[in-house]
Structure 1
């Protein structure tokens, strides 16, 4: 079941106060429109109705897809009371994957990964290797990296790498066998599904060291 609240917001541009809806909980099956807004990166976009000022308004949001077996909690401040309360509200969903993310882009990525039937731990290992390869090739730091697409027909996984100071990403791809090797590695390490977990490059590095 989805949940929406209404709050009054003051526009940084003109100072006008208007009411705005915030989706604090989204059920993928009940609200496909909100799912699409996450994927096209418009759910957290806010526009002042008085002056047209636009900004990204990021707030805590819980996204769940029971059919595909996952929950993703967007919490910009990290593991907060909101995350703990989300765990307490869904005790019956203990068998589902639970992930914590810090940005709307990470929320979008997790939805794409799990809808593709992929393992996000293994993908983070692949991303880490590609990130290091890209940094050596470009002689620049990769600040963000995201999963983009999967094609079994083309034997391909695609990723975008955002270099420091650059707006446009560098695109990288690997064959599916690279992911499959990472998946086997992920299955051998000590990773336990427990509560909302932050599965990112830092975790991938720790698991690879193991």
Structure 2
């Protein structure tokens, strides 16, 4: 309970006041515990922020894992659309916290964990594409998985964190449709009789 209180207090202070003002004394006060209790569990402010990052990333990954299981047998367009929806939902879990944590990941040494998260997402989507190879035109499934996952992540991450004006409720559906069209257009073979650029 003390650990949870400290991690939650750290998250609140990061969002409200920023990393620089998130001292261990301030966090202990916000959590309602003594500074001695804080140091029993966390040696520094950076360790607390790392714990917040780990918890937040695990929440995101639970959502992504569930979505990848859900779409395993779905056709390409349906699966991609669902993954775009889930990516937007994941980035909307706590966008203010997500923004602060993204800025702090290099400082806390959590880049390796983020890279592991990305590798897992790429591997899962590569498995999906391998099982749906007859629906796509890409010869290199590894590269296709990288391009698709990176595209979906970059679009939804940037929209949620840096372009909130395009993510009001009445615009989310448009973003979903356009992102789906982009990724499916890359994956699917050209229609019969289609003539590409010279």
Flag whether TM exceeds 0.5 (same fold): no
Larger Rg computed on CA atoms? 2
TM-score by length of 2: 0.28
Bigger helix share: 2
- Give TM-score scaled by structure 1 length: 0.27
Query: Which of 1 and 2 has higher RCO (CA within 8 Å, sep 6+)?
Result: 2
Greater per-residue strand proportion: 1
